[in-house]
Amino acid sequence: MAQVDLAKRRRIMQRSMKLGHCICDPRRPCPCDVFKQDGICPCAGEKPTPVAAADVKLLQLVHNAGCASKIAPSDLEAVLGRLPAVEDPAVISGMPSGDDAGIYRITDQTCLVQTVDVMTPCVDDAYTFGRICAANCLSDVYAMGGVPRTALSILAFPSETLDGDIIYQMTRGAMDVFADANVALIGGHSIKDEEIKLGFSITGTVSAARAVRHETAKPGDVLVLTKPLGVGVLGFCRQIGRPGGDARCQAESMATLNRAAAEAMNEVGASACTDVTGFGLFGHLISLCRHSGVTAQISADRLPAFDGALEALADGVVPGAIERNTEYVGDDLSIAEGVPEANVLLGYDAQTSGGLMICVPAERHEKLVAALKARHTLAATIGRIVEKSDGKIVVTLAGQDASAAPVTEIVDELPHAAAKAADEPCCASADGKNGAGEVCCATPAGSAAPARAKSATDGNSTVASTIEAWTAMLRSSADDGAIDAKTKELITYALVILHRCGPCLRIHHEKALKMGITPEQLAEALWLAVFIGGAPVKMFYDEALAAAPAPQAQKPKGGACCG
* Full DSSP string of 58-126: GGGG-SS-BGGGSPPHHHHHHHHTTSPP---TTEEE-GGGT-SSEEEESSSS-EEEEEEEEEB-SSS-H
End-to-end CA distance of the chain: 14
Which of 175, 82, 101 shows the shortest CA–CA distance to 142? Answer: 101
Beta-bridged to residue 206, according to DSSP, are: 111
The angle formed by the CA atoms of residues 328, 537 and 563, to the nearest 5 degrees, is 105
Distances (CA, A) of 45 to 3, 23, 49, 99, 161: 11, 11, 13, 44, 12
450-552: what fold? AhpD-like (1.20.1290)
Task: Look at residue 423 and give its three-state secondary structure.
Answer: coil
Q: How confident is the model over 419-423, as a mean pLDDT? A: 38
The amino acid at 208: A
CATH match for 67-409 among 3.40.50.300, 3.40.190.170, 3.90.650.10, 2.120.10.30: 3.90.650.10
Residue 406 has pLDDT above 50, yes or no: no
- Give the residue range(s) of CATH 3.90.650.10 domains in the chain: 67-409
Beta strands, E only, 121-196: 147-157, 184-192
List all residues 6 or more positions away from 422 whose beta carbon is below 8 Å from its beta carbon. none
Does 472 have pLDDT greater than 70? no
pLDDT-based confidence at 553, cuts 50/70/90?
very low
Name, in order, each residue with C-beta under 8 angstroms of 219's C-beta and a sequence gap of 6 or more: 294, 385, 386, 387, 388
Q: What phi and psi values does residue 508 have, to the nearest 5 degrees?
A: -75, -30
Residues carrying CATH 1.20.1290.10, the chain: 450-552
**pLDDT score of 2:** 55
pLDDT at residue number 118: 87
The predicted pLDDT at position 509 comes to 84
Q: Could you report the per-residue pLDDT of 47-94, keeping only the tens digit for each?
A: 666 666 666 656 555 555 544 555 555 566 666 666 666 666 777 766
Q: Which residues pair with 191 in a beta bridge?
A: 156
Give the burial string for 430-456 (b: 16+ CB within 10 Å, else e).
Answer: bebeeeeebbbbbbeeebbbbeebbee
pLDDT of residue 508: 85
| Summary mean pLDDT of the chain | 77
Highest mean pLDDT among 7-11, 62-66, 242-246, 468-472: 242-246
pLDDT digit string, tens, across residues 291-305: 999 999 999 999 999
What's the pLDDT at 383?
95
Give catalytic residue positions.
67
- Per-residue pLDDT, 191: 83
